[in-house]
Amino acid sequence: MNLDWIQPAQRLNSLPPYVFARLDELKAKAREQGVDLIDLGMGNPGGPTPAPVIEAAQRAIEDAKHHGYPPFEGTASFRAAITDWYHRRYGVMLDPEGEALPLLGSKEGLSHLALAYLDPGDLVLVPTPAYPAHFRGPAIAGAEIYPLLLTAKNDWLIDLEAIPEEIARRAKALYFNYPNNPTGATAPREFFERIVAFAQRYKILLIHDLCYAELAFDGYQPTSVLEIPGAQEISVEFHTLSKTYNMAGWRVGFVVGNRHIIQGLRTLKTNLDYGIFGAIQTAAETALNLPDSYLEEVQQRYITRRDFLIEALRELGWNVPKTKATMYLWVPCPLGVTSSDFAFTVLQKTGVVVTPGSAFGEGGEGYVRISLIAECDRLGEAMARLRDANIRYGTPANV
């Protein structure tokens, strides 16, 4: 029987090609050939979840009250832990009834928010490069995406002045993310003030992804958009337990901010899912209440790896600025080589996996992202292989 008539919906065809698929193929092939892969491609932190979090989950899993459907809006105590965390960290006051919503990981919420707020033809402003959910969610919703090109010259900050007046007027929402994945850039508080003023002026819903809130180094403190006066009326902010607490597999994150915006997302989600297993919410609550000494330990781990890798890259002739946050280095490819060709070559010649910048949109072309997810001995081994394979290095293409 001819089954050509089984075709996915148009909305799937609107998605840009998934660069990771080809990379996965090459990784599988290398593994088959017995190559000892060093995977610095994913943003998946290595290492276990902190012991007190696991223990809290183990106790909670025995409790029958978690065995039924969880409440749609998340447990009251996890929501309270979220709003307490915001108060402690940023001095931001939020109502746990309506201004905080637990999510099955922030990726889900970032994409579903687009479905909840964007109709086909609506205009959304999205930086390029960006975390894929920031443009794939709107693409699934059928929205028109206006790309905001980030450049090294502008320190990877959004150039608000470059947005044409008529585009700003038409735009319904804007996604942004600092500390930034994939560039590792951070934004000063003045930038947050400017973007809030911009969004107020043009009546644009501000969607901030603060997923690297705690992976900040050398005394740098990331800004929450909700700290900026007036922002709470027009913004939501996403955060995740995945990165800081090594909980990527648990699937738990949250969104906070304007209650009307959150209500729209909640209404959509009540039609799609039942929320998070209660025991996982208990675990997440425990994680948010871990003492600062835990955070300092995590930060120190990434600082050590960052400094080690920057120095090793420098010895190879590759100059990469010191990042103040995130778990990534954003490094230029040789001129004239696409980021995917470069990443594929590195993988084939050395067994080291890095992510092509083009996976984060066209604005990521010319760069690859290296994740600080291995210990220094493995990072050192990766660098030794690059040196032995005589991989050519790049200077920033767009400076």
Ligand X SMILES: *Cc1c(COP(=O)(O)O)cnc(C)c1O
Please report how close the Cβ of residue 209 comes to ligand X at its closest, in angstroms.
Answer: 5
Q: Does 183 bind ligand X (CB under 6 A)?
A: no
Smallest distance from ligand X to CB 134, Å? 8
Q: How far is the CB of 157 from ligand X (least distance, A)?
A: 16
Q: Choose between 160 and 248: whose C-beta lies nearer to ligand X.
A: 248
CA angle 249, 126, 235 (to 5 degrees): 75
Length of the chain as a residue count = 399
Please give the C-alpha separations between residue 98 and each of 20, 76, 208, 262, 278, in angstroms, as whole numbers.
37, 11, 18, 7, 19
CB of 216 to ligand X, least distance (A): 14
Q: Which stretch binds ligand X (CB under 6 A): 240-248, 343-351, 352-360, 372-380?
A: 240-248
Among 41, 43, 137, 351, binds ligand X (CB under 6 A): 43
Binder among 83, 111, 128, 181 for ligand X (CB under 6 A): 181
Q: How far is the CB of 243 from ligand X (least distance, A)?
A: 6
Using alpha carbons, list the distances in angstroms from residue 113 to 194, 210, 297, 361. 23, 15, 34, 20
Among 39, 73, 209, 214, binds ligand X (CB under 6 A): 209
Nearer to ligand X, 102 or 332 (CB): 102
CB-nearer residue toward ligand X: 106 or 340: 106
C-beta of 312: minimal distance to ligand X in Å?
24
Where would I find the beta strands (DSSP E) of 11-63?
Answer: 38-39
Measuring CA to CA, which residue among 285, 373, 366 is closest to residue 326? 373
CB of 188 to ligand X, least distance (A): 19
User: Which 275-334 residues touch ligand X, going by CB under 6 A?
Assistant: none
Tell me how far apart the alpha carbons of residues 273 and 112 are, in angstroms, rounded to a whole number. Answer: 11
Question: Which segments within the chain are labelled E, that is strand?
Answer: 38-39, 100-103, 123-128, 144-149, 171-176, 205-209, 235-240, 253-257, 328-332, 352-353, 355-356, 367-371
Residue numbers 242-261 binding ligand X by CB under 6 A: 242-243, 248, 253
Q: Which CB, 211 or 374, lies closer to ligand X?
A: 211
Site for ligand X in 89-148 (CB under 6 A): 105-107, 131
Residue whose entry in the numeric block shows the structure tokens 């955070």: 295
* Between 49 and 177, CB nearer to ligand X: 177
By beta-carbon proximity to ligand X, the closer residue of 75 and 177 is 177
Q: Can you list the alpha helix ranges (DSSP code H) found in 339-393? A: 339-350, 376-388
Residues 38 and 35: their CA atoms lie apart, in Å, by: 9
Told to check if 26 binds ligand X by CB under 6 A, we report: no
Is 211 a binding residue for ligand X by CB under 6 A? The answer is yes
For residues 101-131, one letter each, b for 16 or more C-beta atoms within 10 angstroms of the residue's C-beta and e for the rest, the string is bbbbbbbbbbbbbbbbbbeeebbbbbbbbbb
Work out how close the CB of 17 gets to ligand X at its nearest, in angstroms, rounded to a whole number. Answer: 20
Compare residues 39 and 351 and give the one whose CB is closer to ligand X. 39
Q: Which residue has the tokens 């394979």?
A: 389
Total of residues contacting ligand X (CB under 6 A): 14
- Residues with Cβ within 8 Å of 324's Cβ and at least 6 positions away in sequence, in order, are 179, 186, 216, 217, 218, 220
Picking from 130, 80, 69, the residue whose alpha carbon sits closest to that of residue 256 is 80
For ligand X, give the closer residue by CB, 43 or 70: 43
Least distance to ligand X, CB of residue 254, Å: 9
Nearer to ligand X, 86 or 131 (CB): 131
Q: Report yes or no: 42 and 249 within 8 Å, Cβ to Cβ.
A: no
Closer of 240 and 323 to ligand X (Cβ):
240
Q: Tell me if residue 175 falls in helix, strand or coil.
A: strand
Which residues contact ligand X (rule: CB under 6 A)?
43, 105-107, 131, 177, 181, 209, 211, 240, 242-243, 248, 253
